Amino acid sequence: MESINKLSNLYDKNLQKLPKTTRSKDNLRAVFDYIEQYPIIDIKRTAKELEVGYNTVATAVKKLVELGILQETTNAARKTL
């Protein structure tokens, strides 16, 4: 139960770090939600799943790293984050 509470608190904390937007399609939030479900991602596959461009996902990942929400640990052989 303690682990669930920690994960829930981390999610809430990270959600508050996301910038507010009035856009109808918030790609940053979409990538954030996707990473919550699939913590190890491949940018190309993520773009395909979310039906957005590779650069859109790459930019969102970069922003999530800058916000301290995501930590990049690139595996060069697998190109995953």
| pLDDT one-digit tens code per residue, 10-58 | 888 988 999 888 777 899 999 999 999 998 999 999 999 999 999 999 9
Q: How far apart are CA 52 and CA 31, in angstroms?
A: 10
Task: Output the pLDDT for position 65.
Answer: 94
Task: Output the pLDDT for position 78.
Answer: 53
Task: Output the pLDDT for position 22.
Answer: 76
Predicted TM-score of the model (pTM): 0.79
Which residues are within 8 A (CB) of 23 and not within 5 positions of it... i.e. 6 or more apart?
none
Task: Output the pLDDT for position 77.
Answer: 54
